Structure formats: structure tokens, C-alpha cells
């Protein structure tokens, strides 16, 4: 077994010409999971060759626009493409009201069912499981209720050491977070600001490059991907170099990147 991660967007609140807001697709054994769904995600999915009909579940971290404004368009396109399979959606309780609004105004003729599960936890909690993997949600520290997600493959005779991936965006540093991410093969952690803007990061409940690197080091992960860059970020190499002072195996994710896990 292997995971294939496709990066749809790495921007923060403001989309810019070469960066879309947050969204990723994780493929495991031919099953597709969408993580966050910022504006423009469906166009990015088309560019990446990901079928709207093959997405099994959507995991939304929190109800900020740069993480879920693309959801309405995607749901509508799924209906136009004739989707019939249930779509499983996970996220904070408030997302349920958003989905009900969508269905009340735009749900006529939908050939598939939205199956929403509200995430509410103070410790890691399994929210989705299948034959090949489990998905665990865990709380993050942001302005509003926010959750990260960890994807763990299930060991078998054929795959005795399954892959694992964790997604952390958005959050300020959390002492407990590293323990919940322990041993993950690849960690995506927001690094909205460089170290010199630590005060700004704290004010907005975000992380810096060094915060992300310390978390990766403390968790003992194999590889760190950073993203959710501030719109003022132009020099990705500088971000990577700051992280590598603490955690050498750091990569700056960019829109369109593909990573094998």
C-alpha cells in the first residue's frame, strides 16, 4: 500500500495568481479523500485528473472561507456529472448548517446523498474507517473550532508497515500536538509566517516556519511539508531554510505537487 498526496492549494486567506486556497487529495488504494476545499478546488481537481465521482469523503478543518468556499461548486458539479454514491462529509458542527443551506436552495435533483458527521473532540478520535485505512480527527488551536486529520493505513500480510499522513492547518503551537502525530510518515503543517513575524502569527493563531519544524521534530515524523503561506510570501526557499535549521527533511509544498507516501 502507498498513499499518493496531491496538493490543490497552498495559499492562506488571499488567493493569488499562482496559489489557490487550501485543498488536498489523498489517494489510498484507489480511494480518494478530499481534505479542505478552498475556492477553485474543482478546477484544480480537473487539472490533477481527479474524478469528482471517485471522491469518497471530504474532511473540512474549520469554517473559514479559504478552507471551504469551494465546496458548493464541487457539490453542484458532482450532481451534474450524475453522481449517485453517498458523499461522506466530516467537519465541525457548524458545517452541518452550511450543508443544510446548500441542500435547501440547490439540492433539487441531486442524485446522491450527503452524509454529514460532526466532529467534536478534545482528544484524537476515529471518525472514518474502511478496509484499508482509518481517519482520526484531533483538535487544533485556532480562532474558531478547528480540527486536523490523521490517515493511517491498516497493516496486513501484504502491507505489514502501512503508510500514515497527517494534516494540520490552521493552528498556533500546541504542546500536545506532537504526541498525536507521533511517527507519522509525512506531516503537512501550516507555516503561514516566517520566524521574524512570530508576533503576527500569535496574533492570528497561526504558526511560523520554526513552529512547524519543532512540531515535526518532537513528533518524530519522517518528512515535513509546509504550506498555507501568507500572500506576502515570495521566497519559498527562505521558508524551507528556516525549517531545516530544526528539521532537515522539510519540503515547501506548491500547488500541483504530488508526493508518494
Give the catalytic positions in this structure: 66
Q: Which residue has the cell 486567506?
A: 13
Phi, psi torsion values for 46, nearest 5 degrees: -65, -45
Q: 159: which DSSP letter?
A: -
Burial of 254 (0-12, 13-18, 19+ CB in 10 A): middle
Grid cell in block for residue 102:
446548500
Grid cell in block for residue 183:
511517527
Tell me the residue ranges of DSSP E strands in the chain: 3-9, 23-28, 31-37, 55-59, 87-92, 114-119, 125-129, 133-139, 147-153, 164-168, 186-190, 223-227, 250-252, 258-260
- How are strands ordered across the β-sheet holding 55-59? 114-119, 87-92, 55-59, 31-37, 23-28, 3-9, 258-260
Amino acid at each position: 500500500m502507498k498513499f499518493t498526496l496531491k496538493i490543490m492549494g497552498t495559499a492562506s486567506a488571499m488567493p493569488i495568481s499562482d496559489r489557490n486556497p487550501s485543498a488536498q487529495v489523498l489517494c489510498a488504494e484507489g480511494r480518494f479523500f478530499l481534505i479542505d476545499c478552498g475556492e477553485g478546488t474543482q478546477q484544480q481537481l480537473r487539472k490533477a485528473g481527479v474524478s469528482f465521482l471517485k471522491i469518497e469523503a471530504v474532511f473540512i478543518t474549520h469554517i473559514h472561507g479559504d478552507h471551504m468556499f469551494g465546496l458548493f461548486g464541487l457539490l453542484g458539479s458532482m450532481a451534474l456529472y450524475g453522481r449517485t454514491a453517498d458523499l461522506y462529509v466530516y467537519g465541525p458542527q457548524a458545517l452541518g448548517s452550511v450543508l443544510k443551506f446548500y441542500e435547501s436552495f440547490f439540492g433539487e435533483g441531486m442524485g446522491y446523498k450527503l452524509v454529514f458527521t460532526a466532529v467534536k473532540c478534545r482528544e484524537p478520535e476515529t471518525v472514518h474507517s474502511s478496509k484499508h485505512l482509518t481517519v482520526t480527527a484531533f483538535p487544533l488551536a485556532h480562532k474558531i473550532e478547528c480540527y486536523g486529520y490523521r490517515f493511517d493505513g491498516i497493516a496486513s500480510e501484504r502491507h505489514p508497515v502501512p503508510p500514515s499522513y497527517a494534516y494540520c492547518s490552521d493552528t498556533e503551537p500546541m504542546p500536545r500536538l506532537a504526541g498525536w502525530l507521533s511517527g507519522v510518515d509525512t506531516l503537512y503543517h501550516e507555516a503561514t509566517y516566517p520566524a521574524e513575524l512570530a508576533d503576527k502569527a500569535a496574533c492570528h493563531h497561526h504558526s511560523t516556519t520554526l513552529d512547524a519544524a519543532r512540531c515535526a521534530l518532537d513528533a518524530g515524523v519522517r518528512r515535513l511539508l509546509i504550506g498555507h503561506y501568507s500572500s506576502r510570501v515570495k521566497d519559498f526557499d527562505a521558508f524551507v531554510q528556516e525549517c531545516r535549521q530544526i528539521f532537515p527533511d522539510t519540503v515547501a509544498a506548491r500547488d500541483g505537487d504530488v508526493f508518494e507516501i
